[in-house]
Each structure stands twice: as C-alpha cells, then as structure tokens.
Amino acid sequence: MDLRQKFLRVTCDRILRINELTVGTKYPIVSAERVVTHLGHTVMLTLRDAPTSLFRVFLPKRYATVVSDGDIIAIVRAREGLSFIYEGLDIRSRYVLTVE
C-alpha cells in the first residue's frame, strides 16, 4: 500500500450502507479491498462523494465470490475512471449495483 492510500484510509471515517446511497448517482471508486467482518469475507469500496469527502461501503456478501482478487487489483490500479452506481432494489429485494 502506497503512502497516498494510507492517508486516504485515515481520512475516511464514514461507513454507509448500500441503501443509504442516492439511486443513480456515480460515486468514483478510490480503492477496493477484500476484508473479513464478523459476517465473513466481503469487499469494501472507498468511494468519493465530494472532492475532499470519502466514505466506505461494504458490498453485499454475494459479491465477495464474484469479485476476484484480480478485479480488486484492477480497481486499485485504475485510479481514475471507475465509478460505482447504486441502482436501487429489484423485485427480489436485492441491491442492483453497477460499476462503470
């Protein structure tokens, strides 16, 4: 982890739930990492909602098996250009997520 990422982790103090995000809003992805919580393995994204404001969001557990370590490395290396979009809930009460 480079020094920039370490400082970004320290200044990011908010953790939001997926359903607290605004539907259809593009949140630039700053970083991604695989973490272990009391509920098991998952993926945590650090997102930007303003030029100097960051927050974290845990992806639903089902994404932990879909997102590979290679995907996480690609997200971290991309630096710019990838955004996370919360699309709301579908009929089966599942979160619909998009990465562009």
How many independent structural domains does the chain possess? 1
Over its length of 100 residues, how does the chain's per-residue pLDDT go in tens digits? 677 666 655 555 789 998 899 988 999 988 889 988 888 889 999 998 877 788 999 988 888 888 888 888 888 887 667 888 888 877 665 656 666 6
Range of the domain at 19: 3-99
Handedness of CA 12, 13, 17, 22 (dihedral sign): negative
Which regions of the chain does DSSP assign to beta strands (E)? Answer: 15-16, 26-37, 40-50, 53-58, 83-89, 95-99
